């Protein structure tokens, strides 16, 4: 069997998230597995690096799966692109070492959140921006962001109230850029909890609106309570940009 690693992009607007679920077959993972089952003549389990939520997009999602030896990475890529919907595309495919796992072996993930501060979103970008409709104090937001980076317990920024595993993660950086009427926020870390990026974004927006102080981030982290943090920002502004790995694990040989 070959362990195939792929990089793909998708517009998440019409999907119920990445992860296959019992109550819907309209997921990105489900679409991939359906095409691979058709190709291989048997079920194929796809492992994704990031379990993006309903409505969240990806420029550089990574996934891996096992196929029989006679399928080449290029052949798999071409078959997937022929039969996948137009809003899902495989941009790269290769063979990974046998024990490579796209989620468990990831060393870093970059998510980008885009906010439109103008009164009306640009027509052709409307599905990929959160239309906030007013300006923000980016200086205060950057100050707050600096208090959130590092290895910390992000329980207050986890949307899963029943989370039993560790909520400690390392957030390497948060970059906030103003580009005219758009604000881009890049979150780079070793892993993210359920809704974590969207809750971080919602909380930083509240700082930018003057509803919270930058210094309150320390108190929110210490609280360990979802109710202490801000709102969950809408999904459409979020995109998984890139997943990083130790190069030794990426390919055979």
- Check: CB of residue 89 under 8 Å from CB of residue 81: yes
* Residue 163 DSSP label: -
One of 3.30.70.660, 1.10.3210.10, 3.30.70.600, 1.10.3720.10 is the CATH number of 108-241, namely 3.30.70.660
* Residue 28 DSSP label: H
Residue ranges in the chain whose pLDDT is less than 70: 248-253
User: Where exactly are the structural domains of the chain?
Assistant: 2-104, 108-241
Residue 196: what pLDDT?
A: 98
Give one DSSP letter per residue of 123-155, joined into a string: GGGGGGSEE--S---HHHHHHHHHTT-EEEE-G
Which tens digits make up the pLDDT trace of 210-233?
999 999 999 999 999 999 999 999
Helix axes 138-146, 196-208, angle to 10 degrees: 130
Residue 253: what pLDDT?
A: 34
Which tens digits make up the pLDDT trace of 182-201?
999 999 999 999 999 999 99
CATH of domain 2-104: 3.30.70.580
* Residue 16 DSSP label: S
* Residue 24 DSSP label: B
- What whole-number distance in Å separates Cα of residue 58 and Cα of residue 7? 10
For residue 174, which of 150, 149, 137 has the smallest C-alpha distance? 149
- Check: CB of residue 144 under 8 Å from CB of residue 204: yes
* Residue 119 DSSP label: S
For residue 105, which of 146, 133, 143, 63 has the smallest C-alpha distance? 63
- Check: CB of residue 50 under 8 Å from CB of residue 58: yes
- Check: CB of residue 28 under 8 Å from CB of residue 12: yes
Max distance between CA atoms of the chain, in angstroms, equals 59
Residue 247: what pLDDT?
A: 73
For residue 229, which of 114, 177, 152, 119 has the smallest C-alpha distance? 152
- Residue 53 annotated in active site: yes
Candidates 25, 53, 186, 244; catalytic one:
53
Common-topology check for domains 2-104 and 108-241: yes
Element (H, E) at 168: strand 168-179
**Strand-pair category, 238-245 with 88-96:** unpaired
Which tens digits make up the pLDDT trace of 41-59?
999 999 999 999 999 999 9
- What whole-number distance in Å separates Cα of residue 64 and Cα of residue 243? 13
pTM over 0.85: yes
**Strand-pair category, 57-67 with 106-116:** unpaired
Secondary structure tally for the chain: helices H, strands E: 5, 10
Kindly report the backbone phi and psi dihedral angles of residue 87, in degrees, each rounded to the nearest multiple of 5, phi listed first.
Answer: -95, 15
């Amino acid at each position: 069997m070959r362990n195939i690693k792929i990089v793909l992009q998708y517009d998440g607007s019409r999907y119920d998230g990445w992860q296959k679920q019992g109550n819907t077959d309209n997921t990105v993972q489900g679409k991939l597995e359906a095409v691979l089952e058709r190709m291989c003549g048997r079920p194929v389990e796809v492992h994704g690096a990031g379990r993006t939520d309903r409505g969240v997009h990806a420029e550089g999602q990574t996934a891996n799966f096992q196929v029989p030896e006679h399928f080449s990475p290029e052949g798999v890529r071409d078959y997937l692109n022929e039969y996948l919907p137009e809003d899902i595309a495989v941009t790269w495919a290769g063979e990974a070492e046998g024990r490579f796992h796209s989620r468990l072996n990831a060393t870093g993930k970059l998510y980008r959140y885009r906010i439109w501060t103008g009164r009306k979103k640009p027509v052709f970008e409307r599905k990929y921006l959160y239309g906030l409709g007013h300006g923000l104090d980016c200086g205060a937001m950057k100050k707050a962001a600096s208090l959130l980076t590092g290895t910390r317990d992000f329980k207050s920024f986890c949307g899963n109230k029943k989370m039993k595993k560790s909520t400690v993660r390392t957030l390497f950086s948060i970059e906030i850029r103003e580009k005219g009427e758009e604000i881009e926020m890049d979150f780079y870390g070793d892993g993210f909890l359920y809704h974590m990026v969207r809750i971080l974004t919602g909380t930083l927006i509240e700082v930018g609106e003057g509803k919270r102080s930058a210094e309150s981030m320390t108190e929110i982290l210490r609280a360990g309570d979802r109710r202490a943090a801000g709102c969950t920002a809408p999904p459409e502004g979020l995109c998984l940009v890139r997943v990083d790995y130790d190069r030794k694990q990426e390919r055979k040989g």
